[in-house]
Amino acid sequence: MASYAAIAQPASEHDSRPNSTASSSRRPRRKETGYAGQASWPSSVINLVNTIIGAGVLAMPLAMSHMGIFLGVLVIMWSGLTAGFGLYLQTLCARYLDRGSASFFALSQITYPNAAVVFDAAIAIKCFGVGISYLIIIGDLMPGVVLGFNSHPSAEFLVNRHFWITAFMWVLCKI
C-alpha cells in the first residue's frame, strides 16, 4: 500500500488540527503529545448503534409507505451497503493517521489537502439539516402529545407547533 505521508502538509503554528506523520508502515507509532481519544470500544459501538437506530426508526416507516415493501427493502439494503463501504474506506484512510487523532478533517488533509475545508463545510451543513429535521419532527408531534394528555388544554399555545419549535430552540441555544 502506498504511503500518503509525502502529501501531508507541514504543521504550522496557527493550525490547531492534527496532521499525519505516518511512515511507510501500515500502523504508525503513537505520538506522545497531543490529544488522544478517550472513548472505549463498547462506548463507541453503543454510540454508533444509537445513531443508526435513531435515524432508522424515523426514516424507515416513511420510506416504506412511499416506496412499497419491495423497493423500500431494496433501497434500505443499498443504503446500508454504501454506508458500510464508506466506513470501510474511512478505516483504510485512518491507518495513515496517528492513533487517537483520526477525524474527517485529518482524513481529508491526507486525501485531498486543498478540499479539507469543503469537507468540513459539508459536514456542518449536514448537521444543520439534521437539527432542523428534528425541530420539524418536534413541531409535528408535540401538539399531538399535549392533546393525548388533555383533549381540551386550557393553554391554547400548547397545541401550536411554532411554540414547540421555539421552546426547543430556546433550550438548545442555552446548551
Judge whether 55 lies within some domain: yes
Do the domain assignments include residue 26? no
Does residue 79 fall inside a structural domain?
Answer: yes
Say which residues have a Cβ less than 8 Å from residue 7's Cβ, sequence separation at least 6.
110, 113
Gap between the Cα atoms of 57 and 64, Å rounded: 12
- Does a structural domain hold residue 128? yes
Q: State CA 102 to chain mean position distance.
A: 14
Give CA–CA dist 58/108, Å, rounded.
Answer: 30
- Residue 13 domain-assigned? no
Residue 81 lies in a domain: yes
Please indicate, yes or no, if residue 140 is contained in any of the structural domains. yes
For residues 160 and 125, state if they share a domain: yes
State residue 5 phi and psi, 5-degree precision. Answer: -65, -25
Number of structural domains, the chain? 2
Q: Which domain holds residue 55?
A: 40-95
User: Is residue 97 packed enough to be buried (19+ CB in 10 Å), middle (13-18) or exposed (0-12)?
Assistant: buried
Mean pLDDT, 10 residues at a time, over the chain (175 residues)?
48 49 49 61 81 72 85 87 89 78 78 84 89 87 88 87 91 80
Q: Which of 95, 130, 165 is the last residue of a domain?
A: 95
Q: Does residue 16 lie in a domain region?
A: no
Looking at the fold, whether 131 and 157 belong to one and the same domain comes out as yes
Per-residue confidence (pLDDT) for residue 1, from 0 to 100 = 46
Clarify whether residues 119 and 174 are in a common domain: yes
Contact 91, 99 (CB under 8 A): no
